[in-house]
Chain A
């Protein structure tokens, strides 16, 4: 058959057009895949013992499990709220230093790597303790010992009544297969780790993302994943991510945590659903006690009365949340405003702020410099703070700059009022240790921690109370000491709980997660999710 040039061109054009149609059809949303758009450029690792980037935890959350977990969509605020997962039961010694876990039998690893046993648990913990990315919190673990194939002892250096929250339900101590690690090697394990979760890894592409398929041998037959595949697609650019959701390319995206974002999204598509954790991240304002006049308690109290913290939280609505102290009121050490002594309630009162400034020797206020990150959540909060402080005479010259540079400068003690955003579970001592203890004091050479206020050094701090909390052998004493820390911090004001900011996901209404997201880390599981085409 002969083909003239024109016929050939027409045929080629038709073939190309047909292939495009085919591609479009293939791309159309299927009910068999749930796809989330992650706010980062690419995955770094699929090895849960080694993750450093929050976005990677969306995939690890589906592929791996810990010995215990809270109910989906929540944080366990007390130890009794954890539910058995890879462990079926656990006991604690009276001194809270030895924890014994009985392992679930018959749990299968992905890809035919066999049954999970205590060897895998010991291996996962020891690797996380020795070379993981959360070594400090896990450094309290003295040893992890197998007591037979289905029982493990975790021995601690000092008591920890919160071990389930601090170390067991922790991404870095997810259980991975020792057999797989030994077989495929450390390097490949970073992109092909093997777990027990409801989904198993099928593709790791550090340009695109992570693809997973349902783990058919999942131990919890009632909660076997309903949707056949899950994909974490990395889309760093905000516009591209938003368009991907609106076009249906992805089912859900990590939100931009900026004022007005949720409203603007609803204007584009009123059917969108928003899942939000409370509290999300804690936005704390460090007052540098080594910078005058912030060494003066009256000046710090003036800040508390000058800044309307409810207004800050409202400005970030619906993602913003108010905290009377440092912890939200539903966390174990949290207070409601009305439960605080009147002098520590610090209700918004600019006149009182002015009076305190006058008493401190600044009747006309003062000028000072402060640095801030350009990231939306940081800059939004600090611009509000700037306006409110200006109203009482504290004129803050705000230098807004690159996020990475901002944190590097803070680490070298170059700031005055340093806003910091961190995520914490309901384990209050983690925030106190990192942001208030003497051991975490910031150093000018950058070798210190993130106690940017120099609390405990520039003035007596909470080290003694923190030690007592950490030595507690019962949960009630632990909480009591933490509440005392909250009150002392409100008296001394080295650190101000400015607001919380929910981790938020915008979701297509066709996807039903199967549970409500109320609290928890910035990742949620897909195994109960269903989707209509």
Chain B
């Protein structure tokens, strides 16, 4: 298993390198000057030149690229053009907020999605099933930033149950702050996972071994949860993996709407300001997260279905 993990991580290096190279090129192609973004559009030529020299933007592109790659392998991603803070430090301070939001949203999304999926499957074509399908359609159709703004207006502005912005301090305050943004992401996830659970469970419930279990007199909850849901988990786990990725990337819009700190907000700000170091650092985080989640899903398959063996 250890060897398998090591090889998978080594396999990921070219992918990450490719992503970083593409981002490096894209940022340089994108019109806009980091020096003007940092110093303002009335900055004078000598101030701009001084800034470019200080930030290493006055050397040829290939040189900048090599400096960047060297920085990545030595864990030195440079400093932000805007405030001089270390990029690693900025990422280190923002990443926990995004992880927190993603984790809470996933717990809420899966926690609600699986039961409603089971409810729909076990009440096929009845009212609960139709309700779940309608909710699922809504979840797929509504953009999360719109839903976020809607929840913000209802629950934070009008009812005043939740804070409008920020991330809070201390565990209880942080959970209080994260609830509404997480709920926004979770509603979309619950819709997706609910539909997936329904489809997966319906397929499994039609199998011979389920019929056999019922014939042997097993009680219905045992049939559903032990024989049905357990075997439906494999396709469901793929969906959850995809959902986790979507939640992590979906945090970008939600962090903006709820004015929460996090990698998404950091990245958007950096793109607007052409803060190359922070953009590159943020993209590395996203690339690594994608690789790790994929790896995690592969390992989960092995745990769920022992028939899949590591070769």
Contact = CB atoms under 8 A, between A and B. Distances in A.
Contact of B41 (A45, A136, A247, A407): A407
Nearest to B34: A404
Contact of A411 (B33, B160, B265, B272): B33
A450 B42 contact: yes
A396 to B, nearest CB: 20
Given A136-B47, A404-B273, A446-B33, A207 B41 contact: no
Interface stretch (A19-27, A96-104, A218-226, A480-488): A19-27
B259 A235 contact: yes
A250 to B, nearest CB: 9
Interface in A418-458: 420, 422, 434, 440, 443, 446-450
Contact of A244 (B83, B164, B172, B256): B164
Given A52-B39, A207-B94, A434-B42, A239 B257 contact: yes
Contact of B82 (A23, A44, A249): A44
B88 to A, nearest CB: 14
B31 A402 contact: yes
B14 to A, nearest CB: 32
A519 B147 CA distance: 40
Nearest to A422: B42
Contacts, number: 127
Contacts of A190: 83-84
A52 B156 contact: no
A237 B163 contact: no
Contact of B256 (A43, A133, A237, A447): A237
B254 to A, nearest CB: 11
B45 A447 contact: yes
B149 interface: yes
Given A243-B152, A407-B33, A446-B33, A236 B44 contact: no
With most chain B CB atoms within 10 A of its CB, the pick from A20, A43, A207 is A207
A296 interface: no
A93 interface: no
B45 A448 contact: yes
A41 B37 CA distance: 14
A447 B83 contact: no
Given A52-B39, A244-B164, A404-B33, A449 B152 contact: no
Nearest to A435: B42
Contacts of A41: 265, 269
B257 A240 contact: yes
Contacts of B153: 243
Contacts of A237: 256-257, 259
B83 A19 contact: no
B258 A45 contact: no
A422 B42 CA distance: 7
Given A52-B39, A207-B261, A20 B44 contact: no
A206 B90 CA distance: 9
Nearest to B173: A23
Given A16-B172, A411-B33, A236 B39 contact: no
Contacts of B168: 23
A240 B164 contact: yes
Contacts of A446: 33, 48
B134 to A, nearest CB: 28
Interface residues of B, number: 51
A449 B256 contact: no
B44 A136 contact: yes
Nearest to B156: A247
Interface string A361-384: 000000000000000000000000
Contacts of B93: 207
Interface in A24-63: 24, 27, 41-45, 52-53
Contacts of B261: 207-208
A243 B156 contact: yes
Nearest to B273: A404
Contacts of A156: none
Interface string B33-70: 10011111110111111000000000000000000000
Interface in B240-279: 256-259, 261, 265, 269, 272-274
A297 interface: no
Interface in B139-167: 149, 152-153, 156-157, 160-161, 163-167
Contacts of A136: 44, 46-47
Interface in A173-200: 190
Interface string B150-193: 00110011001101111110001100100000000000000000
Contacts of A45: 83
Nearest to B258: A240
A340 interface: no
Interface string A92-114: 00000000000000000000000
Contacts of B41: 407, 410-411, 420, 422, 450
Interface string A392-411: 00000000011111011111
A271 interface: no
A244 B157 CA distance: 8
Interface in B11-37: 30-33, 36-37
Given A19-B172, A237-B256, A404 B272 contact: yes
A428 B261 CA distance: 41
Which 7 A/B pairs are nearest by Cβ-Cβ distance?
A405-B31, A207-B261, A404-B32, A44-B83, A408-B33, A41-B269, A240-B259
Given A44-B83, A237-B257, 4 more contacts: A23-B173, A243-B153, A404-B273, A408-B32
29 contacts: A23-B172, A23-B176, A27-B163, A45-B83, A52-B38, A52-B39, A207-B261, A208-B167, A208-B261, A233-B165, A236-B259, A239-B257, A240-B152, A240-B164, A240-B165, A240-B257, A243-B156, A243-B157, A243-B164, A249-B163, A249-B165, A404-B32, A408-B32, A408-B33, A409-B31, A440-B44, A447-B45, A447-B48, A449-B44
Interface of B: 30-33, 36-42, 44-49, 82-85, 90, 93-94, 97, 149, 152-153, 156-157, 160-161, 163-168, 172-173, 176, 256-259, 261, 265, 269, 272-274
